[in-house]
Structure 1
Amino acid sequence: MNPEIVERPAFTVLGYRYQGKNEHQEISAMWEQFLPRMGEIRTTNPLESFGVCRMAPGLPPGEFEYIAGMEVEADHPVPEGMVKVTLPAARYAVFEHRGGLETLQDTFHKIAVEYLPNSGLTRVTPEVDIEVYDDRVFRGFSPESILYIYVAVR
């Protein structure tokens, strides 16, 4: 695991929000609902979509917030049933996840348990992880698919 460290300016994501523990694959179901509505969004980058995972204040223990969306200008109107969030400028460690959805949690585990404790980096609090689905390399979690995981660090 050898991530690239990048600085990313503040950006805004528009899409669907889920809050919970994802015990019944609610996030996958949410993406399936969101995909047909992507055409309603004037994105700044049509090749990328985002899964923003945040430990939002006020949520019960073990729960998190996940936003499936696309990057937009800050003044983009919010279609019914969607939300818009602006993420602050941050420094990110960028990791590649190759392969299927069934091994995605393994990649997150390796980042948290193996890489970060030995890297000299710490997560920004509250924690923010961003999944970047780049149409040029993401193939729907097939074995050759690549997904980028951005972990906000300092």
Structure 2
Amino acid sequence: MNNNFLAMEKTIHDFAQELYFRNEAATDLLEKDEQKDLLHFDRSGVEELQEIAGILKDFCQPQVRAVLEVSEDANKTDLDQKLLQNQSHQLLQNYANLEKLVAYAEKQAEQKNKKLSKQWVELKENLAKMNINQIEDIEKTTKSMS
């Protein structure tokens, strides 16, 4: 088994695990904001938040969970550059979606002349701490090998 492959899979697994929890936190925050909008009778805001939460729950989380499951069994997997490339690409997409979601929350708060809640700020800071460069490097490396 190629040690480089296993190292990349470990990096992917660790990042996916962290991203999974960030997705969970974002979903919880969306549901909380949705409830607030319902209390203020802001139906359009609720529909938009429900749509975003649905995408996170139904698309992003299962995708990240699949990456986690595959990377957990990396030592049983044959060296597969395409697999690494697909995993890293999916994680980059999901990470970008969370960044867009935080930007959306910031915009919504700004429109309401409010500050971003402490939980949203924490999510934003935690996203910034994630080592996205490692995943980008894996994607670049695997693209150049295929």
User: Does TM, scored on the shorter chain, surpass 0.5?
Assistant: no
Q: What TM-score comes out, normalization by structure 2 length?
A: 0.23
Q: Which has the larger radius of gyration?
A: 2
In proportion to residue count, which structure has more helix? 2
Q: What TM-score comes out, normalization by structure 1 length?
A: 0.22
